[in-house]
Copies of this chain bind each other. A is one copy, B any other.
């Protein structure tokens, strides 16, 4: 249950109520927002007169629910992420060198697009692999932003470097393996930056939207949900991109939805197919891994597409987006 309390509610009463009910709260412009588990439907008598509005839900998808508020855009200085646009977010899996990231940035700029993505702190499944350029990578991304005026999406792996990443990024990405990292979700909730939250590959849609609640309940409403493939028995593709899940998210949440076809597919040949599929569904953004020289990539070599392929893909995506009344940005 979400409750909007008038700001003159006595702090000690509210705190007790929250403690007793495992509820969380944050201060909004005009009221205090308190959220309890969805099974709780009653405010205690001593608080009733301070209640401005009250919303009940069937599950703990609450602040992010379309039944709570309608979809609103996310403003990034010049760009707005909303239901008229599809943001194409291209960039390498890992930032590897100035030359590499600048070539990609230049191409993105030529194509008239606004955003670049690239990882600096890579969460790996083996400790014996390349783990990103870390701070050096963040600096290269800052250069890219200055030189080409692109918005930067980059990933935070764990809390050890969350401050640096939040400072350097226009959109902070929480990766699939960190979706349950409560510390990290809270730190991103407290920052006043948009957060792109990737679905855990072993997570249900319900758990995914509940992970967003950990951010939202800190008062940060700029959360983007990103579907990137789940784990199934099929082994011809790296993961199984769950576009039925995207339909669910569009129907039930008030948050922008992005799709990452690169990780779902795991093979560059199918990425354009799945990117067009996502575009036709009408999503707010698509993340695609791009490398000037994919076979030399230090991570995810098989799934990155090259700069030539990128141009024809972009032209086709423009047509598909247009068929569903959206504009590519």
Q: Is A328 on the interface with B (CB-CB < 8 A)?
A: no
Docked Cα-Cα span, A12 to B207, in Å, equals 47
- Determine which of B24, B201, B277 lies in contact with A127 in the assembled complex, contact meaning CB atoms within 8 Å: B24
B202 and A203 contact, CB distance less than 8 A: yes
Q: Type the 1/0 row for A247-274, where 1 means its CB is closer than 8 Å to any CB of B.
A: 1101100000000000011000110011
Q: Type the 1/0 row for A150-186, where 1 means its CB is closer than 8 Å to any CB of B.
A: 0000000111100000000000000001101111100
Task: Find the residue from A206, A237, A274, A280 having the highest chain B CB count within 10 A.
Answer: A280
A interface residues, how many (CB within 8 angstroms): 81
Docked Cα-Cα span, A180 to B200, in Å, equals 11
- In chain A, positions 184-213 with a C-beta closer than 8 Å to chain B are 184, 200-207, 210-211, 213
Residues in B whose Cβ lies below 8 Å from that of A273 = 243, 246-247, 250, 281-282
Residues in B whose Cβ lies below 8 Å from that of A207 = 125
Nearest neighbor of A231 in chain B, beta-carbon distance: B233
- Determine which of B36, B180, B251 lies in contact with A177 in the assembled complex, contact meaning CB atoms within 8 Å: B180
Residues in B whose Cβ lies below 8 Å from that of A123 = 180, 182
B230 and A232 contact, CB distance less than 8 A: yes
Nearest neighbor of A21 in chain B, beta-carbon distance: B128
Residues in B whose Cβ lies below 8 Å from that of A324 = 276, 316, 319-320
Q: What are 11 inter-chain pairs, A to B, with CB distance below 8 A?
A: A22-B131, A35-B128, A60-B127, A125-B206, A157-B182, A159-B183, A236-B244, A240-B244, A244-B270, A246-B273, A276-B324
